[in-house]
């Protein structure tokens, strides 16, 4: 009995060592066994006053059996039922197979010489990025110049409109004078 307790103690110490490592600052002030015992006592005390939970706790093994993913396959399904399930999912299985084959084919793309040439591609991408930034600055400059030219054009058209309006007013005034008879 003492051997078993010693073995359990060593296993717990090994577990604590794997969790906290050599750093003793992270170790707990109380041993793990004591914490587990206290938690077990707390759970037992919590369940003692609740009569509705006790039957559920007693049937946990049965519940785990029903929740096991292979439960339905082992007990109630015949080979024919299993075959019909597989056949009904044939399209999805084929789609998954095609996807896996595609992924397998693409693994060659990710390995090999293509990835070893990354530094050259990186420098080329940096150069292209610099060119793109220069082109963007140039385009911004052209946009600014275009806006200035459009503003000048609008000013010229506005001044021409004013000149035409004044000319029209003067012509209209002269025509009015010509139509009126002059009395001496």
The phi and psi torsions of 136 (rounded to 5 degrees) equal -65, -45
Beta-carbon-side half-sphere exposure of residue 135 (alpha carbons within 13 Å): 6
Sequence-separated (6 or more) residues with CB below 8 Å from residue 31:
12
Do residues 13 and 31 make contact, with C-beta atoms less than 8 angstroms apart? no
For 56-74, write each residue's pLDDT tens digit.
878 888 888 878 877 766 6
Tokens 């093994």 — which residue? 61
Spatial contact of 117 and 124, defined as CB atoms under 8 Å apart = no
**Local confidence pLDDT in tens for the 184 residues of the chain:** 678 888 888 888 888 777 777 665 555 566 778 888 888 888 888 877 777 887 887 888 888 887 887 776 666 667 787 788 888 888 999 999 999 999 888 877 766 666 677 777 888 899 999 999 999 999 999 999 999 999 999 999 999 999 999 999 999 988 888 887 666 5
Taking the whole predicted model, whether its pTM rises above 0.85 is answered as no
């Amino acid at each position: 009995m003492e051997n078993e307790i010693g073995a359990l103690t060593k296993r717990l110490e090994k577990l604590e060592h794997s969790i906290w490592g050599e750093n003793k600052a992270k170790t707990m002030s109380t041993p793990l066994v004591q914490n587990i015992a206290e938690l077990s006592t707390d759970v037992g005390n919590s369940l003692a006053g609740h009569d509705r939970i006790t039957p559920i706790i007693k049937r946990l093994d049965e519940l785990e059996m029903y929740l096991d993913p292979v439960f339905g396959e082992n007990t109630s399904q015949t080979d024919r039922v299993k075959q019909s399930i597989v056949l009904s999912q044939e399209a999805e299985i084929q789609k998954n197979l095609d996807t896996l084959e595609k992924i397998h084919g693409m693994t060659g793309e990710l390995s090999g010489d293509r990835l070893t040439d990354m530094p050259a591609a990186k420098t080329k991408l940096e150069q292209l990025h610099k060119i793109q930034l220069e082109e963007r600055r140039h385009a911004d400059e052209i946009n600014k110049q275009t806006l200035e030219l459009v503003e000048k054009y609008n000013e010229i058209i506005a001044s021409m409109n004013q000149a035409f309006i004044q000319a029209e007013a003067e012509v209209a005034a002269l025509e009015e004078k010509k139509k009126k008879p002059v009395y001496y």
